């Protein structure tokens, strides 16, 4: 199982190297001022990457333990929360989104609803004042919420 992961990785990296090399060979160069140009170094790198990956395919190494199904689902949930945070960051504004994000992340890391809500409120307000008043960062007010602007 572990060994298989490294073999697949090695093959995928060889694919990446081929893609990088092909892409580099397509660079449109109009003027060349120097003998090397922009293509050679990426192609050289791709060759090294492919060689090392080939070694990996034939001599696979150690791998970490992969998470089980329940943890994988939670990982996806955390990523989902972060993605939603990014998507709505400017739309609903810093304060609303940070509260919701802290609340959901704390819940995903097994805090009770009460603790998660307190953490959300305190961290949102604390960080808001730290960033705006302390560090002078302009945080998004949320253009879907005209009241906040």
Partner 1 sequence: MFDFLIQGFDVALSPMNLGLAFLGALLGTLFGALPGIGPINGIAILMPLAYTLGLPAESALILLAGVYTGAEYGGRMSSILLNVPGDAGAVMTTLDGHPLAKKGLAGPALGLSAVSSFVGATIAIIGLTLFAPLLAEVAVMFGPAEFFALMVFAFASMSVMMGNDPIKTGIGAVLGVLIAMVGVDSGTGVMRYTFGMAELYDGIDFVVMIIGLFAISEILLMLEHAHGKNANQEMPPLGRVMVSAKELLYCKWAMLRSGVIGFIVGVLPGTGASVAGAVTYTTEKRLSDKHNTFGTGDMRGLAAPEAGNNASAAGSFVPMLTLGIPGSGTTAVLLGALMLYNITPGPMLFTERPEVAGGLIASLYIGNLVLLALNLPLAGLFAKTLTMPRWVLVPGIAILAFVGVYQLHSDLMAIYLMLIIGVFGYALRKLGFSLAPVILGYVLGGLMEDNLRRALSISGGEVGILWNSAISVGLWIAAVMLLVLPWLLSRAFSRKSPVTA
Query: Site residues for partner 1, window 12-71 (CB under 8 A)?
Result: 13, 20, 23-24, 27-38, 41-42, 45-46, 48-49, 52-53, 55-56, 59, 61-64, 66-67, 70-71
Q: Are 62 and 2 in contact (CB under 8 A)?
A: yes
| Site of tokens 């001599």 | 59
Task: Give, as ranges, the residues between 81 and 100 that touch partner 1 (CB under 8 A).
Answer: 82-83, 85-86, 89-90, 94, 98
Give the three-class secondary structure for 39: coil
Count of CB atoms situated within 10 Å of the CB of 106: 19
**Least separation, in Å, of the C-beta of 148 and partner 1?**
16
By CB under 8 A, residue 138 contacts partner 1: yes
| CB closer to partner 1, 79 vs 145 | 79
Q: Which of 92, 95, 106, 142 binds partner 1 (CB under 8 A)?
A: 106
Question: Where do the H-state alpha helices sit in the chain?
Answer: 2-25, 40-58, 69-92, 94-108, 113-129
What's the gap between Cα 75 and its chain centre?
13
By CB under 8 A, residue 136 contacts partner 1: yes
């Amino acid at each position: 199982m572990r060994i298989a992961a490294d073999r697949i990785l090695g093959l995928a990296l060889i694919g990446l190297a081929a893609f990088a090399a092909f892409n580099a060979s397509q660079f449109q160069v109009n003027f060349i001022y120097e003998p090397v140009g922009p293509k050679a170094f990426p192609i050289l790198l791709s060759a090294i990457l492919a060689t090392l990956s080939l070694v990996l395919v034939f001599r696979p190494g150690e791998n970490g333990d992969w998470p089980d199904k329940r943890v994988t689902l939670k990982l996806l949930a955390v990523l989902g929360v972060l993605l939603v945070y990014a998507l709505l960051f400017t739309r609903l504004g810093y304060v609303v989104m940070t509260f919701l994000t802290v609340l959901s992340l704390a819940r995903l890391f097994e805090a009770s609803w009460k603790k998660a809500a307190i953490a959300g409120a305190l961290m949102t307000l604390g960080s808001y004042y730290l960033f705006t008043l302390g560090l002078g960062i302009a945080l998004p007010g949320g253009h879907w919420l005209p009241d906040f602007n």
